[in-house]
Amino acid sequence: MVKLAPSILAADPLNLEREIRRMEQEGCDWIHVDVMDGHFVPNLAYGPDVVRHLKRVTKLPLDVHLMMEYPETLLDTFLEAGADILTIHAEISGDRPGLIRRIHEYGAKAGVALKPETGLEAVQDLLQDVDLVLCMTVEPGFGGQELHPEVMEKIRQLRSSGWPGLIEADGGIREDNLKDLVDSGLDVAVMGTALFHNTEGETAVRRMHSIGAGR
């Protein structure tokens, strides 16, 4: 069953606690927190204090995606705040293996993310050490973009390689394209508008969970 991870970028920021509790009640699996530094991507979003407060109001795992040029500057702070899954980008110039080790030392799961144009060769040396690969299906930095369908081939290649970890995708995912992603090998779908703005609530979540069930 595909896991659903609502991205709080699409939530009502003035009622974030209410929104997160609603996602939990409707049956979602993770909460996705995008962190943007204004350098790696041209936008700013969410710091450690948001993660710390979310930890107090939900039992769902907090899936924190660091879109940061220098994640080492705040890595420990996000882990101490309560990140259960912490993902760095393949494209950064820092000590990626060292950062992954540090995440595991805290007892969290470690992920590595790829922009749409970044090939799997960029993470070949990391696959044995990470728990999750996040394939961005839009250019990171802003919500509301259309999914890049060519990323499905990247997901398919990673799944067919026999790598046993979780494959996650983020960007432009809706109920009408979720099946193609799941058929390609997706395990975790990060969805913003499709979950927070869905008027069917629990019914829609159950329907999306059923896509690819028993794969």
**For the purposes of burial, counting CB atoms within 10 Å of the CB of 27, is it exposed (0-12), middle (13-18) or buried (19 or more)?**
middle
Q: Known catalytic residue: 34?
A: yes
Q: pLDDT tens digits, residue range 65-120?
A: 999 999 999 999 999 999 999 999 999 999 999 999 999 999 999 999 999 999 99
pTM > 0.85: yes
Nearest Cα to Cα of residue 82 among 111, 110, 45, 48: 48
Q: Which of 29, 63, 84, 170 is catalytic?
A: 170
Q: How far is CA 166 from the centre of its chain?
A: 11
Q: Domain coordinates of the chain in residue numbers?
A: 3-210
Domain 3-210 listed as CATH 3.20.20.70: yes
CA of 192: how far to CAs of 74, 133, 144, 159, in Å? Answer: 25, 19, 8, 24
Q: pLDDT tens digits, residue range 141-185?
A: 766 678 999 999 999 999 999 999 999 999 999 999 999 999 999
Q: Known catalytic residue: 95?
A: no
Alpha helix positions (H), 27-139: 48-57, 75-81, 96-105
Q: Which of 29, 34, 84, 187 is catalytic?
A: 34
